[in-house]
């Protein structure tokens, strides 16, 4: 294999580039590679990574698209193309690219994750829930951390709209209750929030043993349970309206 120097990272061996690999010389290098071979999909891909790192997202999307046209079986190129399209608010094109990525790599957890975010952007919450559950299933270690209440995790990406969150986890809950609870952590503030979460997501009242306890109703007493009743205490007790004198018991 030809050694290209310490700042060159072949995509088939190392998917993400290091900081020093995004210098202006890198851009020139990959452009020269493309001039020498216009069908070099790897060069387009790495040029796109450079553009993405330097926040030139439109140029990154164009480079990634060219890479996918030249190599239509490369899931990673479709993944980054979908990410770039999402940043450009081109959600339908992003969904198409990300769906292609997960077709090519069925356990591509990060692609499923971003596909879920794109489906949220499109208002298709059931499909979004399905994608996020798959992302969690295929890489639970990463998802357990990223989906928790972290500054730059999914709570940041979902924004501050509680209704969006509830609509999403309403579809997740029947499939993965643990993931649904993680996603709700951002709104969980005591028993009242727990009651709202449960009743909105599960569609039923929260059982008393699940955290939320209803306070006693003034003036109301629980009815006695049918079945075995405790025997009265041993000893003499006057019955109600019982006569107090023996002569009253003559009959």
Q: What's the pLDDT band for 8 if we cut at 50, 70, 90?
A: very low
Q: What is the mean pLDDT of the chain?
A: 77
67 CB contacts (<8 Å, ≥6 apart)? Answer: 41, 42, 44, 45, 48, 74, 77, 81
More confident residue, 235 or 109: 109
More confident residue, 247 or 233: 233
Crossing angle of helices 57-70 and 41-53, in 10° steps, is 160
Query: What are 182-217's pLDDT values in tens digits?
Result: 777 766 655 556 666 667 666 666 555 554 455 555
pLDDT attached to residue 65? 97
Which homologous superfamily does the CATH classification assign to the domain defined by 14-106? Tetratricopeptide repeat domain (1.25.40.10)
Q: Using a cut of 0.85, tell me whether the model's pTM lies above it.
A: no
Please tell me the distance from the alpha carbon of residue 74 to that of residue 108, in angstroms, as a whole number. Answer: 12
- Predicted confidence at residue 165, as pLDDT, reads 81
Q: What percent of the chain has pLDDT over 70?
A: 60
pLDDT for 94: 97
Residue 25's pLDDT is 85
* pLDDT recorded at residue 100: 97
Average pLDDT of span 8-32: 62
More confident residue, 107 or 11: 107
Per-residue model confidence as pLDDT tens digits over 53-97: 999 999 999 999 999 999 999 999 999 999 999 999 999 999 999
Tokens matching residue 56: 């030139």
Alpha carbon separation from 176 to 109, 171, 199, 201, 230 (Å, rounded): 16, 9, 16, 12, 45
d(CA 30, CA 47): 6
**Domain boundaries of the chain, sorted by first residue:** 14-106, 124-205
Residue 10 has pLDDT above 70, yes or no: no
């Amino acid at each position: 294999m030809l050694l290209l120097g310490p700042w060159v990272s072949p995509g088939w061996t190392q998917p993400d580039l290091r900081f020093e690999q995004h210098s202006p010389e890198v851009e020139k290098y990959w452009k020269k590679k493309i001039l020498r071979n216009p069908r070099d999909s790897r060069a387009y891909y790495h040029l796109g990574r450079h553009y993405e790192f330097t926040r030139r997202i439109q140029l990154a999307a164009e480079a990634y698209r060219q890479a996918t046209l030249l190599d239509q079986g490369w899931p990673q190129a479709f993944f980054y193309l979908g990410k770039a399209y999402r940043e450009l608010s081109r959600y339908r094109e992003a969904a198409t690219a990300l769906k292609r990525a997960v077709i090519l790599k069925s356990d591509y957890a990060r692609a499923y994750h971003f596909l879920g975010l794109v489906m949220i952007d499109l208002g298709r919450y059931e499909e979004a829930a399905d994608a996020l559950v798959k992302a969690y299933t295929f890489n639970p270690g990463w998802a357990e951390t990223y989906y928790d209440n972290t500054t730059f995790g999914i709570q940041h990406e979902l924004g501050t709209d509680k209704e969006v969150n509830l609509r999403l986890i309403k579809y997740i809950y029947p499939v993965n209750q643990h993931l649904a609870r993680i996603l709700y952590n951002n709104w969980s503030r005591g028993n009242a929030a727990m009651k709202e979460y449960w009743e909105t997501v599960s569609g039923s009242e929260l059982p008393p043993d699940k955290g939320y306890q209803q306070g006693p109703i003034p003036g109301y007493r629980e009815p006695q349970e049918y079945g075995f009743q405790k025997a009265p205490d041993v000893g003499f007790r006057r019955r109600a309206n019982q006569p107090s004198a023996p002569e009253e018991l003559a009959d």
